[in-house]
Amino acid sequence: MAFRSAAARAVARGSAVAAPRRVPVPGQNDALFVAPMRGYTSGGSSGEDGRANRLLSFVRSPTAALATEQGRGGALASRGARSFASSSDDASGSSGSGKGSGGKGKEGKGESKASDSKASEGGEGIEPPAASSSGGASASSTGGIMVGGGHPSSHPQVLALPLLRRPLMPGVVQIVKIRDQRLLAELEEMRNRGQAYVGAFVKKAEGDHAYNKASQSFDKVSQSLDKVSRSFDKATHAAAAAVADGEELEEEESSNGNWDPADDMHDIGTFAQVQQMIYERDLAGGSSMSSSAGSSSDADKDGGDASASGDVDDKGLCTVFLLGHRRLRKTHTVRSDPMVVRVEHLKDLPLPTAEENEGRDLQILKATGMEVIATIKDLLHVNPLSREALKSYAQKFNDFQDPARLADLGASMCTSDDYALQEILEHLDIRDRLGATLVLLKKEVELGKLQTEIGRRVEEKISADQRKYFLMEQLKSIKKELGMERDDKTALALRFTEKFAPFKDQAPAETVRVVEEELQKLSGLEPSSSEFNVTRNYLEWLTSIPWGHSSDERLDIEEAAKVLDADHYGLEDVKERILEFVAVGQLRGTTQGKIITMVGPPGTGKTSIGQSIARALDRKFFRFSVGGLSDVAEIKGHRRTYVGAMPGKLVQCLKSTGVSNPVVLIDEIDKLGRGYQGDPASALLELLDPEQNGTFLDHYLDVPVDLSKVLFVCTANVLDTIPGPLLDRMEVVRLSGYIAAEKVAIARTYLEKTTKERCGIGEGEAAITDQAMTALIEDYCREAGVRNLQKHLEKIYRKVALKLAKAKGPVATKAIGDARAKALAAGKAAAAKEAELKKLEVDNKESLIYEVTELEAKEAKEAQGMAELEAAGVALANSVVLITVDKADLVDYVGQPPFQTDRIYDLTPPGVVTGLAWTSMGGSTLYIECTAIVQGRGGGGGDGDEEEDGKDSKRGGGGGGGGLKTTGQLGDVMKESTAIAHTYARSFLARNFPGNAFFDETNLHIHVPAGATPKDGPSAGCTMITAMVSLATGKPVKPNLAMTGEVTLTGIVMPIGGVKEKTIAARRSGVTTILFPAGNKKDYEELSADIREGLEVHFVKTFDEVYQHALTWDASAFDTPPVTAVA
């Protein structure tokens, strides 16, 4: 540092931290301005105060103080001034200040001038005074801070201007806000002299710590001031001797610590020119910026003391425009407030020549510069604010070939942190500086792109409601300007009128009248009234129904058959009925609504066939379920007097589909409920009656609605729960269960393909063998439908997918998934375009929009094909070994089979007969077992009473035999069948075997296995009689024979139901011969050939025929003798 003694450093620190801020008056020769210190006054020069004043005089001007105190004449003063000036380069006062802070002002001033003149006469290296532009003040009036000329040697020390952020780059203009009035006064004085050059340095982040430390140590300095003043003589003699010898005093490491006011700023800064100063109050008041030169001159003329006259006039905040010129480095501090620092002007390192490294370094530098220019261009696209910096640079320099200036320009356009920019400022190697600038510019471009992306996302987040609101407000303003504005009520009425206009010609006259009345009523109501909203909602529904508007349907038998076959396998009865409907429509030229009810077990495709019917006819589809429905209002609507009233489901259907001839699927019609709100089944009578639904009356609309063109498709599992009057209005089509062959075909054609797609398994990656599929159907999925089969297939292929994913690895699996997702999205887009094209084909086929949409649909189809091809390629590239699921693997995939074979006996013993039963799962075989009870141990005689639980019944004729006991959880109807069978068996045995008294001497026990399953029905009559007769005669029933049929007391076999289900159950159990009642021959002949294949069927009218087929058979025709064999 340039301070030459501990006392001087202490005074400087004290004045900089604690003293009031004062500004030197122009013309006053102070090399180091020091404000009055705490505890000392400026009056008097005797005693301790005198010594303090002499100390201050020494600090301000050592040469003058030495001459005055020591009285050694001009020689000693001249020697001290010459040595001091040459060693410090005017740091402490090359033209020292002669104005003291105490004593008499004029005397001090004259004394100081006299001392300065003496020092100048004998000193070396002291610049002579030069005229300034502020009223004749010498150049030394600012302590030699700035002198004329632009060469670096002309500015060895500069006024330090601290920057809070962003270093100033050479060649760039930067705006700085300054409130320090002392600093502003100094800048104004320099501008008045035409030498407004400063050094701009960025403050360090930890700079405040130094100030705090200095503030804490000020008290200690003040306490030591008495000691310093008493040692004044010794200090002055020591300082004079040191100055005379030309030696630099080493800084003392005192307990107070060493502190440089410039330590909180970076060493490397920018030599800058003050271009303009604008005060905030001048902008507010409109006055011009005033200079401090005039007031300074007045104070000088009056002989006023700036140190004693008070603080500088506060002009407020000032905006200073700085233009950077070149880099400089501060070496030490000359003055603290305002701060003046000694600097070294820096030059860039020389550029590489063409001869160095064969010119490669020069080429790299040139390429880097070109890349910086290209990056700046990119930055201008993403950040338009950078245009101003580039424009200012082009106006001042217009030199984009200089790599040094280009690097500084690029750095100034970046918004990086101060540390990164300071690093670029400190780079003297142009190559390193240019490279660092390029990195920051690249980051700035990426930041700009991110900013653009964020802006775009934020813009997209503006909700549709807000956009709609803005547009509506603009529309209102436009309408208001054009005189088209109407009130909300008039606009609402106009909207309803325009909405009803397309249907008015085909609407019933009553409906037209009601709409007109309601519109007139709406115009007379206030919008705030409750009746207004009721009327508005009523008109909304009335005008939304497509009165008389029907969509064009496709009456093409071949096309309809193709669609039905593509969606479902089998179901020939339903398909034939739909084709009949299409044929009638072709012949008549129009179609009428029908009510078709499909009855069958779950999972047989009843609901899905409704959608296929709509596709086959090209009609709109609407589905609603009435399972558990107990409110009539769901069918016929609410009264408008209720709060929240709405029309029924059928009116909602017409509004949502927009046509009067949709396909309506009423699901689960056999599960209708009934509650206090009414009976929905009775409400459906009007809806499903072809003679009444042409004028269907909804409670809400209260006007007739034509539903005669609607095709109703109802589904049910059973018909028993459907009321008779409602069933009478339906056309019933029965859907029986699928046989194993049909299930295999359905699984291969539909279910397996769909399941593979859902599980993400491609073609050729996994397969189920035919044996495994057959075993899966027969042992796991024996029900009539295929829903459970689909669940098991999904379970298998999920496990296969897990194996494939583990084998392929996460990277390949993700690639395949992404490709298939892309193909799926392309397929959805193509389907949407096809639907849009189909809609335009009806309305605007000749328009340009249709042609554009057709082209877009074609492109979407091509894109779908490409995406699917790409997905197949990715899957093929990452394919692994084919996973095959065999019959033996089913246990690992789906567990143990829940169903074992229905066959209990390989060959039935006497008294055991195989029967056939219908179940909700499609049918099964049912064994009837009859055995004799040993006399005296089985409770042979009974009184005919039945136990309350119904599980055990006894019927007999005393202790001699003839009793009957039944078990197997039989229902009432089946118990009656056992009684009838017992009676007829006794008569049959007595008639055909007169000497056989088996029934008279023996009590019987009839059991039906699977006792936990309730059983009921009359069709087991002939089976029970056959079992009793077989036991009485000791003849077993013919192997692989099953029978079914109800028998009267006279032996006539009555027809039964469920022929298809029972036939399927017989085939599944390996039965080859079936006995059916003769009345069911027509039902059997309606079965498909694949169901009847391999079966020997006999149709019987009486039990005598049953006896001939079942019990009179030739045992020699069978390889195995008839023995009992329990499976």
Two structure tokens written together for 1007: 């059991």
Quick one: angle between helices 62-70 and 232-245, nearest 10?
Answer: 120
Cα 873 to the chain's mean position, in Å? Answer: 30
Beta bridge partners of 278: 319
Q: How far is CA 334 from the centre of its chain?
A: 63
User: Are 691 and 593 a contacting pair, CB within 8 Å?
Assistant: no
Question: Which one of 112, 412, 924, 1019 is the catalytic residue?
Answer: 1019
Angle at 572 between CA 569 and CA 573, to 5 degrees: 140
| The one catalytic residue among 315, 606, 1060, 1062 | 1062
Residue 93 identity: G
> What span, in angstroms and rounded, lies between the C-alpha atoms of 988 and 993?
8
Other Cβ atoms less than 10 A from the Cβ of 351: the count is: 14
* Distance of alpha carbon 802 from alpha carbon 322, whole angstroms: 70
Residue 606 is among the residues annotated as catalytic for this protein: no
Question: Which residue in 633, 630, 628, 673 sits closest to 652, CA to CA?
Answer: 633
* DSSP per-residue codes, 497-564: HHHHGGGTTTS-HHHHHHHHHHHHHHHTS-TTSHHHHHHHHHHHHHTTS-TT--------HHHHHHHH
Report residue 675: phi and psi, to 5°: -140, -165
**What are the two backbone dihedrals, phi and then psi, of residue 479, each rounded to the nearest 5 degrees?**
-65, -35
Give the closest residue to 778 by CA, choosing from 919, 922, 901.
901
Contacts (Cβ under 8 Å, ≥6 apart) of 304: 25, 105
**Cα gap 614→662, rounded to integer Å:** 8
Give the SS3 label for residue 28.
coil
Looking up tokens 């009414």, which residue turns up? 678
Q: Tell me, yes or no, if 140 is annotated catalytic.
A: no
- For Cα atoms 575, 580, 586, give the angle at the middle one, nearest 5 degrees: 130
Q: In sequence order, which residues have a C-beta less than 8 Å from that of residue 674 and are 6 or more positions away?
A: 630, 680, 681
Pairing of strands 964-967, 1003-1007: parallel
**Interstrand relation of 157-163 and 339-345 (parallel, antiparallel or unpaired):** antiparallel
Q: Which of 1113, 941, 1093 is nearest to 1038 (CA)?
A: 1113
**Are 270 and 324 contacting, i.e. CB atoms less than 8 angstroms apart?**
yes
CB 277 within 8 A of CB 318: yes
Distance CA 776, CA 432 (A): 76
Q: Which two tokens stand for residue 224?
A: 């030591």
Which residues on adjacent β-strands are paired with residue 734? 599
What is the C-alpha to C-alpha distance for residues 480 and 494, in angstroms, rounded to an integer?
Answer: 17
Chain-centre distance for alpha carbon 545: 38
Q: Are 408 and 440 in contact (CB under 8 A)?
A: no
Q: What CA–CA distances, in Å, run from 1054 to 284, 709, 719, 1049, 1065?
A: 115, 42, 21, 11, 20
Distance CA 1079, CA 858 (A): 59
User: What SS3 class is residue 1098?
Assistant: strand
Contact 592, 708 (CB under 8 A): yes
Active site residues: 1019, 1062
